[in-house]
């Protein structure tokens, strides 16, 4: 099984019907929400099809969805779903688990998906800072470009450290809310 990030196991499958329907839900309103939130994600640089799949998984009461279920929900082709989930798995936002005795894959996301996104970004900033540090050395720390790059390194190091602290504070707050 490929996992999105960290050591997580796939959620237990349930018998809830995937899709926009649920007790007291308007399926048209749910699909509209999926498209609106997808638009927000694409405006920030998220590819459209993976964004639609991500939001569909986020809004589903079912813990896992298959490619067929996603294609039906999003009214798109299975090939489009295949490419989208491949992207989401590659960036660590979704994981896939095979169904025993079948080629069918069940796709799911962590209950901590937003924290996972922040941690992915924090790791990216750390990698960028290390690479930019080499740029400072190559350009010369006293050159205008080297000074700008060194400032960028300090910025990414600061943001990275703050994100780690922010996630720790969130975990404490969330645990307190769950137990209280």
- Tell me if 92 is assigned to some domain: yes
DSSP-assigned letter for residue 2 = B
Q: How many domains does the chain have?
A: 2
pLDDT of residue 7: 43
Structure-token pair, residue 175 = 């645990």
CA atoms within 13 A on the CB side of 62: 20
Q: What is the CATH number of the domain that holds 67?
A: 1.10.10.10
Q: Higher pLDDT residue, 46 or 6?
A: 46
Q: How far apart are CA 153 and CA 139, in angstroms?
A: 14
pLDDT of residue 2: 38
pLDDT, tens digit (0-9, with 9 covering 90-100), for 99-155? 888 888 999 999 889 898 888 888 899 999 999 999 999 999 999 999 999 999 999
Q: Higher pLDDT residue, 18 or 159?
A: 159
Residue with tokens 């007790």: 23
- Tell me if 19 is assigned to some domain: no
Structure-token pair, residue 164 = 């780690």
pLDDT of residue 20: 59
- Tell me if 82 is assigned to some domain: yes
Residues sharing a CB contact under 8 Å with residue 32, sequence separation 6 or more, in sequence order = none
Full domain range(s) for residue 44: 27-108
Structure-token pair, residue 173 = 């707050």
| 104 and 162 both lie in a single domain | no
Residues sharing a CB contact under 8 Å with residue 69, sequence separation 6 or more, in sequence order = 18, 19, 62
> Which pLDDT band, with edges at 50, 70 and 90, does 4 fall under?
very low
pLDDT of residue 57: 95
Q: Decide which of 108, 133, 148 is a domain's last residue.
A: 108
pLDDT of residue 164: 86
- Tell me if 5 is assigned to some domain: no
Q: Decide which of 108, 129, 156 is a domain's last residue.
A: 108
| 82 and 145 both lie in a single domain | no
pLDDT, tens digit (0-9, with 9 covering 90-100), for 13-59? 555 555 555 677 888 898 999 999 999 999 999 999 999 999 999 99
pLDDT of residue 120: 85
């Amino acid at each position: 099984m490929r996992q999105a990030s960290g050591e997580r196991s796939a959620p237990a499958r349930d018998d809830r019907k995937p899709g926009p329907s649920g007790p007291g839900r308007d399926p048209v309103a749910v699909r509209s929400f999926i498209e609106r939130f997808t638009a927000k994600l694409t405006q920030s640089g998220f590819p459209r099809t993976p964004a639609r799949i991500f939001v569909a998984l986020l809004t589903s009461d079912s813990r896992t969805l298959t490619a067929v279920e996603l294609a039906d929900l999003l009214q798109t082709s299975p090939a489009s779903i295949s490419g989208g989930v491949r992207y989401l798995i590659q960036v660590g936002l979704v994981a896939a688990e095979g169904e025993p005795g079948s080629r069918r894959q069940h796709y799911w996301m962590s209950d901590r998906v937003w924290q996972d996104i922040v941690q992915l970004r924090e790791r990216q900033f750390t990698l960028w800072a290390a690479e930019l540090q080499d740029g400072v050395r190559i350009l010369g720390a006293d050159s205008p470009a080297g000074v700008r790059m060194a400032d960028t390194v300090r910025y990414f190091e600061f943001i990275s450290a703050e994100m780690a602290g922010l996630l720790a504070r969130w975990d404490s707050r969330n645990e307190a809310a769950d137990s209280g």
